[in-house]
Amino acid sequence: MSEELMQVQTEIGEEDGLSTILEIRSLHFHYGENPALKDINMKIYRNRITALIGPSGCGKSTFLRCLNRMNDLIPNTRVEGEVLLHGRNIYDRDIDPVRLRRNVGMVFQQPNPFPKSIYENVAYGPKMYGVRSRTALREVAEKSLQQAALWDEVAGRLQISALSLSGGQQQRLCIARTIAVEPEIILMDEPASALDPIATMKIEELMRHLAEAYTIIIVTHNMQQASRVSDYTAFFMVDENRSGYLVEYGKTQDIFIQPQNKQTEDYISGRFG
């Protein structure tokens, strides 16, 4: 990472007086012998939405999965560098990945509700972490569905199959399932790419609302979506070795209106990618 880019990032945080929740330092990631990410350095700010943009294959989703160690589930991978959550490296040997993923939840590209009832989907996480009271589980389910802007649509149908919901409703249910265990950070990997425009708008409105209580990091190929919903944007590119790297990171309005890097300007303007 260039000294110039590091200085810009430092000035971002100092200028806005924001609290850092995640700090990525010299992150490298390999699939076997193949480098997928190289030397990623950036800070993620609390209660803000950060969008990750860039062409296909530049490592955005791989980077996202590094933030809650989902890549641990892939054989023959290797991570170098640090991902600091509240100043603690999540890759330290004594960090439990399962507990980490409770605090850093994830919503995937395709809605993936369990083949259970709406209620059981939302109550699953709290049950797994030891909540046994039916009253407490009911309260968690209602609160989570309300936060996910789904309660009014399903309040009288909590025992029906989650698979009977529309695609947009299923994705909001997956968000409710994620927030039911009270994470601090929500990772979203193209959460609206499989949805129609109306469902996409609901997801975007929901993200802005959720940012009041959670820190959100979203991968998106939709430039308009990134400009609409995010506070900060990170632009990734890929080098000749198919390794992803961070080109530019800053306030979304600056990235889209006055990018500092010619590659960023070309990508946002549609000249490539």
pLDDT tens for each residue of 78-102: 999 999 999 999 999 999 999 999 9
pLDDT at position 95 is: 95
Structure tokens at 24: 């990525």
Query: 217 or 11, which is more confident?
Result: 217
pLDDT of residue 241: 83
Distance of alpha carbon 9 from its chain centroid, rounded?
20
Give the other-Cβ count within 10 Å of 112's Cβ: 13
Spell out the domain ranges in the chain: 3-112+184-268
What is the pLDDT, as a whole number, of residue 9?
Answer: 53
User: 3-112+184-268 belongs to which CATH class?
Assistant: alpha beta
Question: What's the token pair of residue 190?
Answer: 């193209």
Burial track 38-57 (b if 16+ CB lie within 10 A, e otherwise): bebbbbbbebbbbbbbbeee
Q: Does residue 159 surpass a pLDDT of 50? A: yes
pLDDT band at residue 11 under the 50/70/90 scheme: low
pLDDT of 210 > 60? The answer is yes
- 271 vs 262: which has the higher pLDDT: 262
Q: What's the whole-model pTM score?
A: 0.92
* Res. 267: pLDDT tops 50: yes
Band of pLDDT at residue 1, cut at 50, 70 and 90 = very low
